[in-house]
Chain A
Amino acid sequence: MEGIEIKIESNCLLVICRGEITIEVTGEMRQTVEDNLHSQTFEALVLDLSGVRFMDSSGIGSLVALNSKIKSSGKDFYILSPSDQVRKTLELVQLLSFFHIVDTKEELELLLPE
């Protein structure tokens, strides 16, 4: 993966991923996100996947685990602007509807608390 950037915006933890999400990087990605889960206060986690060119099954597995963890703690989990490649991969494994996918930042702002 080319990079992972974490910001707090509008009471949500925004995680911006770039490049490829594959088995080689999922461990690091999950660790980075989980470290922030405990140290930050937020009401929703947003995973911006607009810059992700490729994601393998291990990457999807990480999203499933993260989604379950966040939802279980009573917070919201959104995937923002997934690239066509990511969308196709999620569709292929029939998990597109497992996630709350938001197409644009404007749409996301309507969902987030002020």
Chain B
Amino acid sequence: MPYYLKCHFDPRFDPARLRPKELEDGSVDHYDLGYVQNVVMGEVIAELTELSDPDSDPGLDRKFVFEKKVFPAGPNTVVNPENDSQLLAGANGLVFMDAAGEIVVNQRITLNSDVDFHTGNIFFVGDLVVRGSLRSGFQVRAKNLLVRDLIEGAEVQSMQLLSCPGGVKGGSVASLKAGKSMKLGFAENAMLNAAENILIEKNAFHCKVYAGQKLAVKGRLIGGLYYGYQLVYVGEQLGGGMSAATQIIVGFDPQLLFEDQRMNEQLEGVQQRILQYQRQLERTPDAEEDLGPKLAKAEKKMTALTERKAAIWGKISATERLKNALVVCPGEVMPGVEISIGTSYLHINDYLKNVRFRLKDGEIVTESPALRK
């Protein structure tokens, strides 16, 4: 009895021949090219069904007709132990049919080009290596992500590790998030957020950084806002004169501060809208029927945001770790740098070298040398 292989993915999928998806209105989406056919561990990826008469359908692709009930099973696939007519994905990854006709699930993708209009956005449940750059305006999400060249103004998220030896030139729009740690060659004008540690091999300029545990910048850190829960380490130079505002904050949970920052941005938007509705109502009282409900909704949202913000600050205070919070700089510290440890604040007025900052009796003290055995 012959069998027909029904694939629950496109077996003819060729990533080298991607085309933008055409929408119903005739337009095309250049960002959605379907670069990856994701599958999840345990997902049915193919089925074998009995064929009573394979010759009865002349349109049947013989490539998918098998004489025996045996799957062309490749790596990371497994026959369902409860139903031998089904082939399952043995891991999260990308499913495809290789040149030999085997069904394969790859847990890792290596992209030899940039992420750009040739690939579209990439959302992958496995590990992704990009040998090129991530171009501005594109989104990438993967389990672990390695980008060899540059990350531009892209939106990037890894569930675990994010590494980019080529560095980040964010153009003030790049957003990088890592579920665990992040390692970058350098970073400029970008938002970085990692649940654990962030290591920057060279310089960090004008960034907003949230490191859930430690932040280390081996080179210069100039301009921007930098949060580390336990430690901020700067190897060569901290701050860059009075013109580049540089703020370092340690001791509070950066993830909660990130959430607070998000609330602030939303609050600002809602407040502006409330003001706008109120002014419009003053000018045209007849618009009450239209604007009244909008105003009420915006005011309700503002109350909810304010309450949420208060709750976040309750958590921030309850989880502060001030005792061992440190800012360490074996290099130079320039005047103008602002350092906060918890609610204590220090404005650096003098040029300093090889120092560390910690909290003592509620005040930030400066000690030298920076590194101790």
Interface residues, chain A, with chain B CB atoms under 8 Å away: 23, 38, 56-58, 60-61, 64-65, 67-69, 71-74, 93-95, 97-98, 106, 109-110, 114
Contact of B41 with A by CB under 8 A:
yes
B33 to chain A, nearest CB (A): 9
- The stretch of B221-229, B296-304, B322-330, B343-351 that contacts the partner chain: B296-304
Chain B 93-151 residues near chain A, CB threshold 8 A: 120-121, 123, 125, 139, 141, 143
- B residues sitting closer than 8 Å to A (CB atoms) are 8, 23-25, 29, 31-32, 36, 38-44, 88-89, 92, 120-121, 123, 125, 139, 141, 143, 159, 179, 266, 270, 273, 294, 297-298, 301, 304-305, 308
Residue in contact with B40 in the complex, picked from A57, A71, A74, A106, CB distance below 8 Å: A57
Pairs A–B under 8 Å by Cβ, sample size 18: A23-B44, A38-B24, A38-B25, A56-B43, A57-B41, A58-B40, A58-B44, A64-B125, A68-B36, A69-B32, A71-B123, A72-B123, A72-B139, A94-B143, A94-B159, A98-B125, A109-B301, A110-B304
Main secondary structure of the interface of A (DSSP, over half): helix
Chain B nearest CB, measured from A101 CB (Å) = 13
Q: Is the CB of B159 within 8 A of A98?
A: yes
Q: Could you tell me the distance between the alpha carbons of A74 and B155 in the complex, rounded to whole angstroms?
A: 11
A68 touching B159, Cβ below 8 Å = no
Contact B41 A67 (CB under 8 A): no
Q: Is the CB of A57 within 8 A of B42?
A: yes
For A23, A72, A114, the residue with the greatest tally of chain B CB atoms inside 10 Å of its CB is A72
A-B contact number at CB 8 A: 80
- Docked Cα-Cα span, A73 to B21, in Å, equals 11
User: How far apart sit A67 and B38, CA to CA, in the bound complex (Å)?
Assistant: 11
Q: With a CB–CB cut-off of 8 A, which chain B residues contact A114? A: 270, 273, 294, 297-298, 301
B143 touching A61 by the CB < 8 A rule?
A: no
Residues of A within 8 Å of B89, CB to CB, are: 57
- Contact B121–A95 (Cβ < 8 Å): no
| Complex contacts, B304 vs chain A, CB 8 Å | 106, 109-110
- State A45–B200 Cα separation when bound (angstroms): 36
A67 to B89, CA, bound (A): 20
> CA A98 – CA B29 in complex, angstroms?
23
Known: A73-B31, A73-B32, A114-B298. A68 touches B43 (CB 8 A): no
Q: Are A93 and B298 in contact (CB-based, < 8 A)? A: no
Residues of chain B lying within 8 A (CB to CB) of residue A98? 125, 141, 159
Q: Which of B31, B92, B270, B294 contacts A93 (CB 8 A)?
A: B92
Tell me the smallest distance from the CB of B290 to a CB of chain A, in Å: 14
Q: A93-B92, A114-B294 are in contact. Are A71 and B121 (CB under 8 A)?
A: yes
What residues on A are CB-neighbors of B23 within 8 Å? 38
On whether the beta carbons of B31 and A74 are closer than 8 Å, the reply is yes
Q: Which residues of B contact A69 (CB under 8 A)?
A: 32
**A97 B179 Cβ-Cβ under 8 A:** yes
